[in-house]
Amino acid sequence: MVRFILNRLLLIVPTFIGITLVAFIFIRLLPGDPVILMAGERGVSAERHAELMAQFGFDQPLWKQYVDYVSGLLHGNFGYSYSTKKPVLSEFMARFPATLELGLCAIVLASVLGIAAGILAAIRRGSWIDQVTMGTALVGYSMPIFWWALLLIILFSTKLGWTPVSGRIALTQFFPSVTGFMLIDSLLAGKPAAFWSAVQHLILPTIVLATIPLAVIARQTRSAMLEVLGEVYIMTAKSKGLTPRRVIWLHALRNALIPVVTTIGLQVSVLIGGAILTETIFSWPGIGKWMIDSISRRDYQVVQGGLLLIAAVVMFVNLTVDLLYGLINPRVRYR
């Protein structure tokens, strides 16, 4: 097990080098000069342009800029945002808990509902339940997030008034931030009303963000279950006279979960993509919107640092999934 983890950790080194290079090169391949973009219609004199380019280090040769960037990283310096003049790391940390809270809620919702729906569809294969579940999953998978979110807002927030339109918590709720997670901080502050408000604010964005992963997980669970249900050992279990419940939960599901766990792990990157739109619509103060704005401003250091930090999160999740995989499937445990 230790060796397995060590091997995995070693792989991170080349991945990181790859990501720094890709982030560094791609943002520079985009046309557009950050200084001119910053000045906008106002314009900037050639002299001032040169001065600012030098201040940001853009007058250096590319290889030198890259070396400076990487050596900064090794010293824990992710650089500064040109637009806010604040360190990239602190900008990221200020926004990341919001994305994480929303992402965790979405992945939990997608996994619980998705696996349940997948099992139900598999054991009732061909029935109306199967058809409705899989039909809904297909619709969910094809849903344009932007449209879907506005539809939910118009129905549940504006027409019915059940949920707030956007934001993380009611504006009347104000308490110190400790962990950055509203659900936890509201409880730490001893404010149950604030906790309830945070839950209400989470409902719509969680549904929107969970929609696509839910559909994928449901379909994956169904097909994995169907495959497992046709295996010889299931027939054996049934012929031993085990109850259907025991056959499904103990014998079928445990084996069917192996590909499903991988799918859930892969959905993390889908979630980050979805978070960009969801956060924009629901005014959710996370990293998705921040990254998009930085790309359009050509805020090189934010894009580089932000990508690297997001990649670190994705790698961490993948490592966790690999470890979980070992727990679920003893065959890969000690390889």
Partner 1 sequence: MKLIQMLLAATATSLVLAGAGHASTLVYCSEGSPEGFDPAPWTAGTTFDASSRTVYDRLIEFKKGSTETEPGLAESWDVSEDGTEITFHLRPGVKFQTTDYFTPTREMNADDVVFSFMRQSDKASPWYEYAPGIAWEYFSSTMAGSLKEIVKVDDMTVKFVLSRPDATILATFPMDFASIVSKEYADQLEAAGTKEQFNVKPVGTGPFTFVDYQQDAVIRYQANPDWWNGKQPIDDLIFAITVDAGVRQQKLVAGECDIIPYPNPADIEGLKANPDLQVMQQEGFNIGYLAYNTLVAPFDKPEVRRALNKAINKKAIIDAVFQSAGTAAVSPLPPTSWAHDPDLVDDVYDPAAAKAELEAAGVTGLSMKLWAMPVQRPYNPNARRMAELIQSDFNAVGVKAEIVSMEWGEYLARSSAKDRDGAVLLGWTGDNADPDNFLGVLLGCDAVGANNRAQWCYQPYEDLIQEAKLTVAQEERKPLYFKAQEVFKEQAPWATIAHSIETMPMRANVTGFVQDPVGIHRFVGVSKTE
- The answer to whether the beta carbons of residues 304 and 33 sit under 8 Å apart is no
- Are 299 and 81 in contact by the 8 Å Cβ rule? The answer is yes
Total binding residues toward partner 1, as defined by CB under 8 A = 51
Measured at the CA of 264, the angle between CA 268 and CA 2, to 5 degrees, comes to 90
Q: What DSSP state is assigned to residue 40?
A: G
At residue 84's C-alpha, the angle toward residues 83 and 89, to 5°, is: 110
Distance CA 77, CA 68 (A): 10
Find how far residue 206's CA is from the centre of its chain. Answer: 12
- Shortest Å, Cβ 189 to partner 1: 14
320 contributes a contact to partner 1 by CB under 8 A: no
Name the residue nearer to partner 1 (CB basis): 91 or 130. 91
326 binds partner 1 (CB under 8 A): no
Q: Is 298 among the residues that bind partner 1 (CB under 8 A)?
A: yes
Q: Which lies closer to partner 1 via its Cβ, residue 129 or residue 199?
A: 199
Out of 1, 5, 62, 154, the residue judged to bind partner 1 by CB under 8 A: 154
Does 201 participate in binding partner 1 (rule CB under 8 A)? no
d(C-alpha 52, C-alpha 62), whole Å? 17
Minimum distance of partner 1 from residue 25's CB (angstroms) = 17
Question: Residue 162, SS3?
Answer: coil
Q: Which is nearer to partner 1, 164 or 213 (CB)?
A: 164
Binding region for partner 1 (CB under 8 A): 30-34, 36-37, 39-43, 45, 48, 52, 55-56, 80, 82-86, 91, 94-95, 98, 150, 153-154, 157-158, 161, 164-168, 171-172, 174, 177, 280-283, 285-286, 289-290, 298
